[in-house]
Amino acid sequence: MAWQRIRGHDTLVEGFRRAVQRGRLAHAYLFTGPAGVGKRLFALELAKALLCEKAAEGSLQACDHCPSCVQVEASTHPDFFPAVRPPEALEFPIDLMRQLCASFALKSARGRGKVVLIDDADDLNEEAANCFLKTLEEPPPRSVLILIGSTPDRQLQTIVSRCQVIRFAPLASELVDELLQAQGIDDVALRARLVRLSAGSPGLAKELADPALWDFRRALLAGLTKTPVASVGLARQWIDFVEEAGKESAAQRRRAQLVLRLVIDFLDDALTLAMNGTPRRTEPDERPGLETLARRAGPDRLLEALERCLEADRQIDRRVQLVLVLEGLMDALGQKL
């Protein structure tokens, strides 16, 4: 498979190919762009190509079969250090960063250099960044540090200035549609919806494709269009639904945020309708519900409801207890809608 599995980033692959050919690979890269567009997969492929035992000098083509390739895929290669922020931590742990930097400074076990991959570079604090920057002062030969973040302005300036920033763009709608189809999503209308909602992120589209999410969305929106809104009951249903995602709170938070995304989308369309515009993202069968909300709440309160949803999203990011977030949100929505 190798680079063929990286879709929509041909120019970036070509750029790295040329850099390797000319021996001009940088020691540190910051990959930025929306979540779910393939930054991590790209980094993994790059690591594989750099560490592959069969790759010719100056080539960026991993063989995909040698022990190195297999070990990079499995994250067991002695010269490959992938790290993510633990799901419950708000910042990238300094101890983990120190550990990574120490391993990076050691001699390459297989003689082809080292690759460190740090996910969640948005959450580096000053201390972790300093450790990282110190490591960059004397990088071992053929070694590469890759940071993955969302946007350069979420990173500390000291990091941005020392890394080569590689921007990953959202994928074209046709490509997202093709990828969804390849994953067995045959329903054309659902695919069109997912393509619109995911804004070029196949990863997000795939998450949103969960049929349970759409069933729950339908129930929630039906509840929100009734008067009076049964806030307490709806909050309970939402909490039950996120708890079905599993015991891990990261999975529950993610599910809560996906539902929130669908609610925001719906309210956004109701707002458009309330301002006499044409809603773009809602299917005809949902029009009566939208019209009810638009008429009943009006633009000002719909806008407040949307702002309240965004606040809930930020609270979830900050790890506020989900029960509190969802109860508070439904209570507010009940009053505004």
According to the binding rule CB under 5 A, does residue 66 interact with Zn ion? yes
Paired tokens of 76: 């067991």
Q: Which is nearer to Zn ion, 1 or 189 (CB)?
A: 1
| Span of 21-29, 49-57, 121-129, 302-310 interacting with Zn ion by CB under 5 A | 49-57
Per DSSP, the three-state class of 114 is coil
Q: Which is nearer to Zn ion, 59 or 158 (CB)?
A: 59
Q: How far is the CB of 52 from Zn ion (least distance, A)?
A: 3
According to the binding rule CB under 5 A, does residue 2 interact with Zn ion? no
| Span of 51-59, 180-188, 218-226, 265-273 interacting with Zn ion by CB under 5 A | 51-59
| Span of 50-58, 200-208, 243-251, 272-280 interacting with Zn ion by CB under 5 A | 50-58
Reported as half-sphere exposure (CB side, CA atoms, 13 A), residue 83 has a value of 25
Q: How far is the CB of 114 from Zn ion (least distance, A)?
A: 16
| Span of 58-66, 121-129, 131-139, 159-167 interacting with Zn ion by CB under 5 A | 58-66
Q: Which is nearer to Zn ion, 47 or 326 (CB)?
A: 47
Q: How far is the CB of 9 from Zn ion (least distance, A)?
A: 21
Beta strands in 109-225 (DSSP E): 115-118, 144-148, 164-167
Q: Which is nearer to Zn ion, 69 or 242 (CB)?
A: 69
Task: Spell out the long-range contacts of 71-75 with Cβ–Cβ below 8 A and sequence spacing 24 or more.
Answer: 72/44, 72/47, 72/48, 72/115, 73/44, 73/48
Positive or negative: CA dihedral 73, 78, 83, 86? positive
Burial grade of 301 (CB within 10 A; 0-12, 13-18, 19 or more): middle
When binding is defined by CB under 5 A, the residue of 5, 14, 21, 54 that contacts Zn ion is 54
For residue 228, cis peptide bond before it (omega within 30 degrees of 0): yes
Q: Which is nearer to Zn ion, 61 or 164 (CB)?
A: 61
Taking CB under 5 A as the rule, which mask of x and - marks residues 234-263 in contact with Zn ion? ------------------------------
Q: Which secondary-structure segment (H or E) carries 270? A: helix 249-274
In the chain, the largest separation of any two C-alpha atoms, in whole Å, equals 69
Query: Letter for the amino acid at 262?
Result: L
When binding is defined by CB under 5 A, the residue of 20, 46, 49, 52 that contacts Zn ion is 52
**CB-CB contact of 137 with 158 (8 Å):** no
Q: How far is the CB of 31 from Zn ion (least distance, A)?
A: 22
Query: Letter for the amino acid at 336?
Result: K
According to the binding rule CB under 5 A, does residue 96 interact with Zn ion? no
Query: Letter for the amino acid at 209?
Result: A
**CB-CB contact of 150 with 86 (8 Å):** no
Taking CB under 5 A as the rule, which mask of x and - marks residues 7-46 in contact with Zn ion? ----------------------------------------
When binding is defined by CB under 5 A, the residue of 69, 148, 224, 262 that contacts Zn ion is 69
Per DSSP, the three-state class of 14 is helix
According to DSSP, the β-strands at 28-32 and 164-167 are parallel
Closest CA to 112 of 140, 81, 146, 136: 140
Work out the end-to-end distance of the chain between its first and last CA atoms, rounded to an integer number of angstroms.
Answer: 50
| Span of 38-46, 54-62, 72-80, 308-316 interacting with Zn ion by CB under 5 A | 54-62
Q: Which is nearer to Zn ion, 77 or 193 (CB)?
A: 77
Q: How far is the CB of 56 from Zn ion (least distance, A)?
A: 11
Q: Which residues bind to Zn ion, rule: CB under 5 A?
A: 52, 54, 62-63, 66, 69
